[in-house]
Every structure is written in C-alpha cells, then in structure tokens.
C-alpha cells in the first residue's frame, strides 16, 4: 500500500497526522497538536475545504431540523432561522476511573434553539435533568440524531 502512495508522488509520511486524543491533555501536547492542525489546514487546502463543507452541511441539517420543529409548534414564519447566528462547537469529555460519577460538563441549559449531540454507541454518559431535578441517562437509538432543545426553543414552544 505504501508503494501505491510513492507511485503517485505522495509518501505516507508527508500526510499530516493529527492525534485528537491530545486535545485537552497536557498543554505542551495540546499546543503541538493545534500547531500541526493549523499547518495542515494551511498547507493541505483539501482539509480546510473538507472542514468547511462539513460545517456547511451541519448548518443545513440544523436549519432543517429547526424549521421542522418551528412548523410543528405552530410558528408561522419558519424561515426565521435563516438570519439567526449559529455556532459550531465540539466538546470532548474525558472520563477516567477517578471521575466516574462526576459530571463531564457543568450543569447548564442550552442557550440556543437546540443542540445536535453526537452520541457514542460504545461509551454512554449523556445525562439530562428531569422535572424532579434528578439526572437520568439518555441512551439514543442507533442511527438517530440526538437533539437537545434549548432556551430559545422553550420560549417559542411555551
């Protein structure tokens, strides 16, 4: 397989390798990986274009879900999402044996309309607070897109 890459003029060792597990680790390791990621985006334009396409596609999925929710709760102007600011953020929570039973993030409510969550079919850990103030596990169905409605959605629905 390495020979195939050499014939095409590209050696496997020249492809940037980013270790996502180092993000959030020791500052030195994290800084080095961010540097490698930045350089990869600058030197390998295909990475940047791929990331941009991914973010645009996620935005479209989120806008579509938002419009469908708005339509279902009786909002007349479902295009209201078109001009709203949106954000894209990834959080990684580190769980080690000494942190079992603790929260991965501070207790919070989503300030936006909704949050699209990425579940992990192998390691569960997503919890939400029920009406009684207790945390309960959320186990998304395989192949679904878990969504958490935020404060703005609650205001529209109520």
Tell me the pLDDT of the chain (158 aa) as tens digits: 444 444 444 455 577 788 877 776 666 677 888 888 888 878 877 777 888 888 888 888 878 887 887 788 787 676 666 676 666 666 665 555 565 555 556 666 777 777 777 666 666 667 777 888 888 887 777 777 777 777 777 777 77
Apex 124 CA angle, 130 and 64, nearest 5: 70
Residue (of 99, 112, 15) closest to 63 by Cα position: 112
The whole-angstrom separation of Cα 153 and Cα 124 is 26
Q: Which domains does the chain have, with CATH numbers?
A: 44-157 (2.60.120.330)
23 and 17 in contact (C-beta within 8 Å)? no
SS3 86: coil
63/79 Cα distance (integer angstroms)? 9
The span from the CA of 156 to the CA of 158, in Å, is 6
- Contact status, residue 41 vs residue 56, Cβ threshold 8 Å: no
pTM (predicted TM-score): 0.49
């Amino acid at each position: 397989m390495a020979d195939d890459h050499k014939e095409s003029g590209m050696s496997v060792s020249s492809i940037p390798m980013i270790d996502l597990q180092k993000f959030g680790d020791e500052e030195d390791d994290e800084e080095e990986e961010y540097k490698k990621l930045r350089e990869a985006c600058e030197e390998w334009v295909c990475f940047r274009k791929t990331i941009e396409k991914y973010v645009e596609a996620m935005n479209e999925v989120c806008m579509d879900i938002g419009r469908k929710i708005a339509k279902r709760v009786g909002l007349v102007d479902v295009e209201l999402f078109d001009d709203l600011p949106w954000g894209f953020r990834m959080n990684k929570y580190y769980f080690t044996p000494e942190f079992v039973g603790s929260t991965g993030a501070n207790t919070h409510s989503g300030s936006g309309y909704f949050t699209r969550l990425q579940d992990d079919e192998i390691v569960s850990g997503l919890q939400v607070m029920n009406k009684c103030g207790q945390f309960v596990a959320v186990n998304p169905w395989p192949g679904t897109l878990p969504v958490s409605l935020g404060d703005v959605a609650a205001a529209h629905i109520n």
